Amino acid sequence: MTVPKFSLTDNTDDAVATSKAEVIIVGTVRGADNAQLAEGAAGVNAAFDGRLLAALTTLGATGKAEELIKVPTMGRLTAGAVYAVGLGKLGDGGLDPEQVRRASGVAARALAGTKRALNTLSVLDLQAAVEGSALGAYSFTEYKSEPGDAPVAKVDVLAPTEGTAKAHRATLKAATAIAESVLIARSLINTPPNDLFPASFAERAEELAKANGLDIEVLDEKALKRGGYGGILGVGSGSSRKPRLVRLRYQGSKPVKKVALVGKGITFDTGGISLKPAASMDKMTSDMSGAAAVLATVVLAAKLKYPLDITTYLPLAENMPSATAYRPGDVLRLYGGKTVEVLNTDAEGRLVLADAIVRACEDEPDYLIDTATLTGAQAIALGNRTPGVMGTDEFRDRVAGIAKRTGEGGWAMPLPEELRADLDSKLADLANVTNHRWGGMLAAALFLREFVAEGTPWAHVDIAGPSYNSDSPWGYTGKGGTGVPVRTLAAVLADIAENG
């Protein structure tokens, strides 16, 4: 995982003209009739004798979002080329950070093979520009014998006109740390399941814990059996690669609140005995995206020294069919004593999450957040870029609102009480699925709610679609794992640290 090195540059025409960067990035905005130059392009425009926009318009620039126009400088600047990237239309409040983030990502993807670039979009939003550049530059090439052009190695960013140098440095540090954590999650998701399985995932968690001063406890299959973690054991029973439960803890200085994070960690999901269709099963290597996200988030909390007490649970298992696999019709006794009738072994994520949620609630957190690639119904309802957020009303809405502001998206969804009866079982306390297809995302959240301690503010973030991009790259998102919802979780933690 390679992250560009970022450095602040004085915001002057002379600094732009003499920049040692090979490429200078400027923004264009879509106007009513034609493109307009965004703030930050003045130094480049001056070098073009005020005719930069005319040159870009001749080349077809419109300012639409994610448009990229390349212009040679012909010696007008020390840099050899200008990349003009579209930001889209101005909103009522001007450009929002996500527009800057995506535009920076588009430019960063085009900078492969470039050693150094100067991004002027930072004058619009420093944090968004840095995050977009870092995330857009990401490339996972560990398994390629010919990895191709390397990502851009260094990105200079113009200092915004407002604010102090100290504040700008702090923003740069935080943005870089956030992006690095997203990339930790992406790289875990992109690692193939023959190399990333419960035990090896736990080992990677141990390495990150040691490097960042986190406490860690790993329960193997024997400890899980002694503890009564029937959900994790049941789901993992069909695989030769035995399950794990990883518990990490970060204790900030003078913590103001206790937060529990839980992430689904199915390192590969065949569906078990209720086997999935073969088409697209390879994407199920991403079924541990929730665990990757919460692991990366607790690492970030340690780096940024949040004044919080954070405990993170990663229930890790591989869902495989075999002679020892759990079956439709089985009844599992989960951690804490509740029993669940298994009607479909492909509804396994809620079983491992239930074990971890009950255990997390024993820590008596002030807030509990779980995230998971839980239901195909999420993508049907909200598409591949918008997570569904459910839980206790007030905290659900708080998390969903923060998710939107980070640019990762999030939509508050209800928990209709009429669906709860559909989870009743004749044999056990609960069935793991309903007997119909309607409201599958909501029913899964209702199942999880049964295991949340009464009175605990709780949010469940379903990222089945947003966690993995199998389509063309866009903005700062390439193919493969996206790292959603690391930035959301980080922002929620920061909000709790500030506001309680």
Q: Which residues are catalytic?
A: 276, 350
321 upstream amide cis, omega within 30 of 0: no
CA 278 to chain CA mean position, Å: 26
The neighbouring-strand residues paired with 317 are 266
Read off the DSSP letter of residue 150.
Answer: P
Q: Compute the distance between CA of residue 359 and CA of residue 353 in angstroms, rounded to an integer.
A: 10
Task: Tell me 282's DSSP state.
Answer: G
Cα(270)–Cα(239) distance, integer angstroms: 11
SS3 per-residue string spanning 239-252: CCCCCEEEEEEEEC
Residues 6+ positions from 276 with CB-CB distance below 8 Å? 269, 270, 284, 346
DSSP 91: B
312 has which bridge partners? Answer: 248, 261
H helices of 265-406, in order, are: 289-304, 349-361, 376-382, 393-406
Where are the extended beta strands (E) located within 133-224?
Answer: 154-158, 215-219
Q: Is the peptide bond before 485 cis (omega within 30 degrees of 0)?
A: yes
Task: Round to whole Å and give the CA distance between 333 and 318.
Answer: 19
Largest CA distance in the chain: 79
Full DSSP string of 424-478: --SSSSEESS-SSSTTHHHHHHHHHHTTSPTT--EEEEE-TTTTEE-S--BTTB-
Tokens of 408: 């990762």
